[in-house]
Amino acid sequence: MQNKNVLLGVSGGIAAYKACALTSKLTQQGANVKVMMTKSATEFVSPLTFQALSRNPVYTDTFDEKDVEKIAHIDLADWADIFIIAPATANIIGKIANGIADDMITTTILATKAAVYIAPAMNVNMYEHPAVIKNMQTLTDFGYFFIEPGAGYLACGWIGKGRLEEPSTIIDVIKSHQNSPRLLAGKKVLISAGPTRERLDPVRFFTNYSTGKMGYKLAEVAAEMGAEVTLVSGPVNLDVLSSSIKRIDVITAEDMYEAMTKEFSTHDIVIKAAAVADYRPKVTYEEKMKKQDGFLQVEMERTKDILKTLGEVKTKQFLVGFAAETQNPKEYGLDKLKRKNLDAIVINNVAQEGAGFGSDTNIVTYLNKRMDEHEIPKATKKEVAREILRLILHDMKDEQA
């Protein structure tokens, strides 16, 4: 953050007190910090506090021009390298998403070309309201970057997601994002994620425990690294976090087969992280099956092997598979690598603590076709995704050398 010009917008929520610590930490790390506050924010923290911490004037009124030779909000918009809104209330998120400019922060953010980071803080029910979700997606499409709130005890008494992330974490996320090299610029990356659902009748289906978190983090990091990303997703409760990610939603293994084979030829890197059903009911029913005495037998048939099909037709693509195992993971992973003509495979033991479906962490082994093996110890799925993509790029450079 050394010598970065950071504009900090503080909106009116109880979490405004954390913005004081954020200002202090940014200043300590060498950033030049200027603070803007909404009128509501001044009800929680005095502008004088931010002035003392930043050693710069604090801006609260669009019409208070401190230098008659400059238009303050335009001058600040041009000055900033980084624009942070923390805390970001539902109100200010909604105003920015809809182009409303009625205070110092909203007028300045519409005029800036700086990188914008938004750290929401609000009641959990507000954070999950469809209007707020829609507005955040709009801002994501604009290219703004969200720093997700933490979960815990909220000032309103509720327990859930909505607590402003800690100042040190906000800074770490911004630094990581700012310093992330765009090593995949010009590359097209195809990723599959999540489970599939194989229908039995109108109310029942077969599926698995995959949540799609690993595949979505791969897509997110690939986009941050400059790639044009296509994400083929089974049914999950996740949102894409970048406008440069094209999402294709599918339900069944057949749907995923059609989408992956259609997109395959135009991509440079293909990562199949989805947990696709190997079998589906041979017979499906249009009406709900009624409970009967005794056993129920459901005859299953094989679904198409997507990864094997892609391995048979690949030309220039670097093809990566995933092997989620519960026993002898490396043995089964190596067999899959060879049998399906892959360039690399990511192997993990889903029975291992910290590596299972639904976890926010993972522990994997990356194995390429030259039998180079790289252990990636327990880390967040985003960190694991970054390391996987780094290894893929390293292998691609070796092939081209």
Structure letter (DSSP) for residue 21: H
Coil/strand/helix, residue 247: strand
Taking only the tens place, the pLDDT of each residue in 113-128 is 888 999 998 888 888 8
Taking only the tens place, the pLDDT of each residue in 74-86 is 889 999 999 999 9
User: Is 20 one of the annotated active-site residues of the chain?
Assistant: no
> What pLDDT shows up at residue 344?
96
Q: Cα(346)–Cα(133) distance, rounded to whole angstroms?
A: 33
Q: Which residues contact 109 (CB under 8 A, 6 or more apart)?
A: 9, 77, 83, 85, 96, 116
The stretch 271-297 carries a mean pLDDT of 93
What are the residues facing 229 on neighbouring strands?
189, 245
> What pLDDT shows up at residue 158?
60
pLDDT band of residue 68 (cuts 50, 70, 90) is low
In the chain the domains, ranked by start, together with CATH numbers, are 5-179 (3.40.50.1950), 188-400 (3.40.50.10300)
CA angle centred on 306, ends 301 and 312, rounded to 5°: 120
Q: Cα(231)–Cα(220) distance, rounded to whole angstroms?
A: 10
42-56, 115-129, 314-328: least confident range = 115-129
CA angle centred on 227, ends 268 and 264, rounded to 5°: 30
Which of 81, 70, 67 is CA-nearest to residue 7? 81
Catalytic residue among 21, 100, 156, 200: 156
The whole-chain average pLDDT of the chain stands at 90
Which of 251, 241, 235, 237 is CA-nearest to residue 284? 251
Structure letter (DSSP) for residue 103: S
> What pLDDT shows up at residue 205?
96
The stretch 361-378 carries a mean pLDDT of 92
Taking only the tens place, the pLDDT of each residue in 167-217 is 998 998 888 777 766 788 889 999 999 999 999 999 999 999 999 999 999
